[in-house]
Structure 1
Amino acid sequence: MEQRQLGQGLTVSAVGLGCMGMSEFYGAGDDAESMNVIHRALDLGVTFLDTADMYGVGRNEELVGRAIRNRRDSVVLATKFGNVRGPNGERLGINGRPDYVRKACDDSLRRLGVEIIDLYYQHRVDPNVPIEDTVGEMSRLIERGKVRFLGLSEAGPATIQRAHATHPIAALQTEYSLWSREPEDEILPLLRELGIGFVPYSPLGRGFLTGRFSKPDDLGDDDFRKSNPRFSPENFDANRKLVAVVESVAARRSAKAGQVALAWVLAQGTDIAPIPGTKRVRYLEENADAANLELTRDDLEELDQAFRPGAVKGTRYPEAGMKAVNL
């Protein structure tokens, strides 16, 4: 697996593994199968693992911790804090206060069963706490040997600049794919100016770009995509027509549609390391192999034209979710 440089000398596998869906949001999970996925990922050189304390209300960190217990040295381990949930999964808001930063980190270390976190993100920006206070406390976690590198998730340009001035930021994690290209306007140029790496989550458009869905009813009632505007009945058919372009390129290249979507993200710069999520070994192997697919100039132009601004119907989160991004 190709290795890529993010910011501050952090080296990760070109394709990572998002572990969120193993514990929540995408229907029922199977811990034993998820453990197999993580082990197979490490065997393939997919060593950049991403979790968060909110996924499964801590269960996902525990799962990842068990999976890497005997292979810690071969993993670049990323987790996040800031989205607070109660014991029953209820959402309690966003917290970036220094005292909470310390507690959240200690809790994550315990659940993961590790002594240090490689990349520690603020999951969402707390609008009620100056970013300097949050990142300042995160930097002290580095001084105490609990964290190696700092990251932000879904932060806007002004916040990124202020955070980076407080302590160097290694990576920004934000949704980015063929159908979520907003970071190209301001975020990516700023990251490159500051020397911050970019970690796209949902690089497969929450699975839509793989072509696996033919109608909204393909989603189960316990799948959080059911409430996503881009999967809604009024937007689904228009967005499905866009996926047909990805499938056409894939057929030409004897590849899967998801591999083409991932290869497009990888082609946007060597400072980009996407983290597609899956809980199936089959899809993991397909995603890892996308690192070997080199799209032609004509392929890239066809995809860029099809997914031009305004082509995708619906916002990437419902209204409440959109209020917490790009702050």
Structure 2
Amino acid sequence: MNKRQLGHSELFVSEISLGCMSLGTDRDKAKYIIERALDAGINYLDTADLYDFGTNEKIVGEAIKGRREDIILGTKVGNNFTPGQEGWTWDPSKKHIKRGVKDSLQRLSTDYIDLYQLHGGTIDDPIEETIEAFEDLKQEGLIREYGISSIRPNVIRRFVEKSNIASVMMQYNALDRRPEEEILDLLSDNNIGVLARGPLAKGMLSSNGHKKSQEKAQNGFLEYSYEEIQSITRKWQDYGSEDRTPTALALQYVLHHPAMASAVFGASSLEQLEENLTYLKAAPLTEQIFGEIQTMTSPITYQKHR
């Protein structure tokens, strides 16, 4: 498994990595998926305090016992919730972040977090206060690096200007090409790494993507109509071969830009994990195929989420 430097940090993450949100609450099953991922060379695991209201962090913490030193562990903060109760409120305050990190460390059964991320954010947040909290935690040795998980260009620009973030996690795939227009070059120029979530576009770019699209895009997807999605996902399957699965192609597309550090996929079963691992044996992505994908899809831009 190739590894890439995460922005200007000393963290090197596997090119494809495991987003743990979809693991579910079956501890044995989740542990098996995580162990298989680690054995395959994946070293970055991404979770959040909000996933299953803390349960996901506990499951991840249990699964990595004895292997902590081999793992780059990322989690997120910013959503105020009470375990056992539904609902949450947005809270990017310094007080909440400093309380949240202690709760996450306890659930993860570790004494440090490699990458601590703000889980969202708006332009109206007290960004300076948020940054100060992360910088304090870094000085205290509780976190190694910090970043944000956001798709909002205006928020990302503020953090680029005012902070030392190592990374930005955002939705990015061949159907959702919004980061290409405003964000990827900006982050590359500032030596900030990108963690791409949703690289398979809800499974529509997977090896079972055309079937998935019939249920996931009934009302369209972003600016695409249902008919357009059907056409694209049908063509996408034509790229499948012994040398490269459609799933591997989706991951390769995401990783093409120099700002990219890792494509973070989710897996709720061992079969889904193995499908993503076909990336490891795929033939290299050619510039010709990359260009064909860009012609086949649309370079849409951010409208609502600014």
Cα contact 1:199–1:274 (8 A) shared by 2: yes
Letter in 1 for 2:221: R
> Structure 1 residues 55, 228: closer, same or farther in 2, change over 3 A?
farther
Partner of 1:67: 63
Cα distance, 1:159 vs structure 2: 3.0
Partner of 1:8: 8
Matches within 5 A, 1:175-324: 175-212=171-208, 230=221, 235-251=225-241, 254-269=243-258, 271-293=260-282, 294-309=284-299
User: Which of 25, 38, 41 is the equivalent residue of 2:37?
Assistant: 41
For residue 279 of structure 2, give the secondary structure of its aligned residue in structure 1. Answer: helix
Question: What CA distance in whole angstroms lies between the structure 2 residues aligned with 1:244 and 1:6?
Answer: 34
> Structure 1 residues 236, 161: closer, same or farther in 2, change over 3 A?
closer
Q: Say if 2:65 is the partner of 1:54.
A: no
Cα distance, 1:129 vs structure 2: 2.9
Partner of 1:160: 156
Letter in 2 for 1:131: I
Q: Which runs of 5+ in 1 are unaligned?
A: 24-28, 220-224, 317-321
Cα distance, 1:216 vs structure 2: 7.2
Cα distance, 1:103 vs structure 2: 0.8
Deviates more, 1:139-148 or 1:275-284: 275-284
Question: What CA distance in whole angstroms lies between the structure 1 residues aligned with 2:164 and 2:206?
Answer: 35
Q: Deviations over 1:240-299 (max 9, x none)?
A: 321112211123x54321111111112223633111110222322332331442122221
Deviates more, 1:56-65 or 1:119-128: 119-128
Cα contact 1:79–1:119 (8 A) shared by 2: yes
Letter in 1 for 2:3: Q
Question: What CA distance in whole angstroms lies between the structure 1 residues aligned with 2:2 and 2:260?
Answer: 12
Cα contact 1:177–1:261 (8 A) shared by 2: yes
> Structure 1 residues 228, 34: closer, same or farther in 2, change over 3 A?
farther
Question: What CA distance in whole angstroms lies between the structure 2 residues aligned with 1:182 and 1:3?
Answer: 25
> Structure 1 residues 276, 299: closer, same or farther in 2, change over 3 A?
same
Q: Which runs of 5+ in 2 are unaligned?
A: none
Q: Flag as ranges the 4+ runs of structure 1 deviating above 6 A.
A: 216-219, 225-228
Q: Say if 2:109 is the partner of 1:113.
A: yes
Count of residue pairs brought into register by the alignment: 303
Partner of 1:319: none
For residue 206 of structure 1, give the secondary structure of its aligned residue in structure 2. Answer: coil
Cα distance, 1:6 vs structure 2: 1.5
Letter in 2 for 1:2: N
For residue 45 of structure 1, give the secondary structure of its aligned residue in structure 2. Answer: coil
> Structure 1 residues 214, 250: closer, same or farther in 2, change over 3 A?
closer
> Structure 1 residues 229, 52: closer, same or farther in 2, change over 3 A?
farther
Q: Deviations over 1:108-131 (max 9, x none)?
A: 101000000000000111554321
Question: What CA distance in whole angstroms lies between the structure 2 residues aligned with 1:216 and 1:14?
Answer: 25
Cα distance, 1:156 vs structure 2: 3.4
Question: What CA distance in whole angstroms lies between the structure 2 residues aligned with 1:54 and 1:90?
Answer: 11
> Structure 1 residues 88, 70: closer, same or farther in 2, change over 3 A?
same
TM-score w.r.t. the length of structure 1 is 0.84
For residue 134 of structure 1, give the secondary structure of its aligned residue in structure 2. Answer: helix
Question: What CA distance in whole angstroms lies between the structure 1 residues aligned with 2:230 and 2:50?
Answer: 31
Cα contact 1:247–1:257 (8 A) shared by 2: yes
Deviates more, 1:81-90 or 1:9-18: 81-90
Question: What CA distance in whole angstroms lies between the structure 1 residues aligned with 2:76 and 2:248?
Answer: 27
Question: What CA distance in whole angstroms lies between the structure 2 residues aligned with 1:120 and 1:103?
Answer: 13
Letter in 1 for 2:121: V
Cα distance, 1:217 vs structure 2: 10
